Amino acid sequence: MRVFVLCTGRCGSVTFSKACSHITNFTVAHESGRKTGYDLGYPDNHIEVDNRLVWFAGRLHEKYPDAFYVHLTRDEEATAASYAARDLKKKSRILRAFALGIKQQRGRVDAMQEAREMVATMNANIREFLVDKHHVTIDIDEASTLFGEVWDCFDAQGDLDAALAEFSNRYNARRNWRPRRYHRVARRWIEQLGPGETIIDVGSRQSEMALCGQFNRRIAVEPGELPDHPEIEAVKSTWEEFEDPPQAKVITCLEVLEHLTDEEIRPFVDKLFAHAEHVIISVPWRWPKGRCANHVQDPINRKKFLDMIGHREVVKEKIVGRRSKRLVALVV
């Protein structure tokens, strides 16, 4: 039997292959096709983990009609964010091929939007391919409890406990978050506000703004990929759906409002100020409409920004950046 693990990439495939390495009656490899030019020559009793196999699925089935498949998944928004965080020109070759090669995009490319489309397309292709195949689907975030079922599917032998322990490790993870200029401005203002009980970072997307300043409680609210830090309470939710948030001395909301429609902004902003003494907001400053496909509010000037925040008092403001400028504002 041959087992092929199909996935999008950036979804824990290295961790999954490490877990499979504790199986003694199968050989295991991760992306071994890169060394063979993808001639699809895989030995019997072998487990191959490789996101590129998505592009060879039809040929794979022709050559190995009795193969068993695993569809390895992860939250699509988190997967796309992981792809988008990589250098489109140097590190994320598959995303570059999808956006510039397959879709023939020209000019400035919105990496996050392209990553979302690519991940959704790859997962849809895998699901359709596997409709009539022997397969199992497993989410990497549930692998520590469900891997035993995968183990039984192809009568694996070996050290299951050691395999399960691998899911507590992170392999090939994204580099640590690095703050940009608007993050640094916001951090300086937070530190100047002095100690407090709670800070909330809304729309954190793995940033560690919730670690700024002196606070007893640090919360990050994000529907996608959350920061992984022991001092941060990670809440996987949109701000609108976050029920009963605590009162905070500071709420940060950086690069979020530009994604909201006119109907969404007012209740969103009102909720920010209902739960904070101070709110630090950043938005793109005078970006032309269409520069970023998922920005609804561009271009944003001072008048429009004041409209967006309900003409509340702006205590401090600073415009940072050279080509891609941001307005950062401390509002009460």
Domain ranges of the chain: 2-168, 181-331
What average pLDDT score do residues 225-242 get?
87
pLDDT at 175 over 60: no
Return the pLDDT at 176: 55
Return the pLDDT at 180: 84
Highest mean pLDDT (candidates 7-21, 70-84, 212-226): 7-21
Q: Are strands 276-284 and 326-331 parallel, antiparallel or unpaired?
A: antiparallel
Return the pLDDT at 258: 94
Name the residue with higher pLDDT: 83 or 133. Answer: 133
Is there a contact between 256 and 186 (Cβ–Cβ < 8 Å)? no
Return the pLDDT at 206: 74
When pLDDT is cut at 50, 70 and 90, the band that residue 145 belongs to is confident
Residue 308 CB coordination number (10 Å): 20
3 state DSSP class of 276: strand
Backbone angles phi, psi at 316, to 5 degrees: -140, 150
Looking at every residue in the chain, the average pLDDT score rounds to 90
Is there a contact between 33 and 79 (Cβ–Cβ < 8 Å)? no
Of the candidates 184, 219, 216, 185, the one whose C-alpha atom is nearest the C-alpha of residue 201 is: 219
Return the pLDDT at 129: 97
**What architecture is the 2-168 domain classified under in CATH?**
3-Layer(aba) Sandwich (3.40)
Order of strands, sheet of 196-202, starting from the edge strand that comes earlier in the sequence: 233-235, 215-221, 196-202, 248-254, 276-284, 326-331, 314-320
Return the pLDDT at 205: 77
When pLDDT is cut at 50, 70 and 90, the band that residue 119 belongs to is very high
Of the candidates 232, 239, 306, the one whose C-alpha atom is nearest the C-alpha of residue 272 is: 239
Return the pLDDT at 86: 66
pLDDT at 169 over 80: no
Query: SS3 string of 42-70?
Result: CCCCEEEECHHHHHHHHHHHHHCCCCEEE
What average pLDDT score do residues 14-24 get?
94
Which CATH number applies to 181-331?
A: 3.40.50.150
When pLDDT is cut at 50, 70 and 90, the band that residue 146 belongs to is confident
Return the pLDDT at 90: 53
When pLDDT is cut at 50, 70 and 90, the band that residue 271 belongs to is very high
pTM > 0.75: no
> Alpha-carbon distance 304 to 51, whole Å?
44
2-168 shares its CATH topology with 181-331: yes
